[in-house]
Amino acid sequence: MSNILIIKHGSLGDLIQANGAIKDIKKNFAHDRVFLLTMPHYASFMSSCPYLDGVLIDKRLPRWNLFYLKKLKKTFERFSFTKVFDLQNSGRTKFYRRFLFDKKIFWSNSKSFSNKDDLIQEEKLPVLDRIEKQLIKAGIKNIFYTKRPDLSWATTNIKNLINQNFEGNFILIFPFCSPKLVKKKWPYYQDLVKLLNREYGLKYNLAIAPGPNEIDEAKKFKTNIILNNSNPLNIQELISLIKSSSYVISNDTGPAHICTHLNVKGLALFGSHTSPEKVSIESENFKFIKVDDLKKLTVSEVFEKVKENLN
């Protein structure tokens, strides 16, 4: 029995997308132990993943912190990993490979076994296609889940939590994004909420599930604010809430990726920062609007698309 390491630090959407690849790796190495290296705030969630035998935490402290790097290297040596699947493919993981691991270890990343022309073509591929190609190049023969992540393990019973806020069907809205990625944020959600309340207020409740730094901003909207004992939902609760919703409207954030892989009915709003195709956001029920400038995407355009899907 060998130990295998998968590296995926985040973000949430990226980690959700990597779930299928994690399952494929475990299925292909069923008799080995598979571990995930990830960030602290994803460790508890991923510890419940049935395709993993353990989760290691990487605080991603500055690389000049030699004490931290030495401690991390000792952790890797203790597990004696025979294979590493680098699904993060970042400058940090490239650094780890060079300084924290044995040079002879099998290491799979997006640039493994590729020439320059292949790399240029791969950069144009949707993210899930790139991950699939990486696994193929690493010798994974049976790939069934990489492009079809299964989140069935990641749900929990939140019926009581929903009932504390309202009864009946609900539309879930995610108007936020990372402070570092404000270009992903459509600025007219408050006006959209007014239209939705006017048109569908008797049929659907409107709800927002804010993250840790979004609660105060969420209070500005005339919607139900879904919290658990005044705290933001954990990831399993968030996934379960999305699964229970009638419709979701979101920026290009983690919840949009969750919607795609749950095939929940809804709509994602994209500006020029990337394309829905490249980040693999779309399913039979979850659609998108793509524009060059989110500030020029009108409320009426979004509302008409929502109305078309709901009706």
Q: Across-strand partners of 289?
A: 269
Instruction: Tell me: do 187 and 68 sit in the same domain.
Output: no
Check residue 117 and give its pLDDT: 67
Q: What is the pLDDT of residues 57-91, one digit of tens each?
A: 999 999 999 999 999 999 999 999 999 999 999 99
Domains held by the chain: number:
2
Question: Where among 89, 122, 152 does a domain terminate?
Answer: 152
Residues 303 and 174 in one domain: yes
- What is the pLDDT confidence band of residue 10, given thresholds at 50, 70 and 90? confident
Same domain, residue pair 121 and 199? no
Asked whether residue 134 falls in the same domain as residue 210, the answer is no
Domain termination site, one of 130, 152, 174? 152
In the prediction, which pLDDT does 75 show?
Answer: 97
Residues 142 and 167 in one domain: no
- Domain with residue 209: its CATH number is 3.40.50.2000
Name the residue type at position 4.
Answer: I
Same domain, 16 and 147: yes
How confident is the model over 12-39, as pLDDT tens digits? 999 999 999 999 999 999 999 999 999 9
Contact, 286 vs 259, CB < 8 A? yes
pLDDT tens string 81-137: 999 999 999 999 999 999 999 999 999 998 765 666 666 677 778 899 999 999 999
> Do 278 and 163 share a structural domain?
yes
The residue among 102, 120, 152 that closes a domain is 152
Query: What pTM did the predictor assign?
Result: 0.93
212 and 238 inside one domain: yes
Residues 71 and 194 in one domain: no
Do residues 54 and 122 both lie within one domain? Answer: yes
Q: Which domain holds residue 164?
A: 155-310
Q: Count CB-CB contacts under 10 A for residue 58.
A: 19
Q: Same structural domain for residues 159 and 142?
A: no
205 & 258 share domain: yes
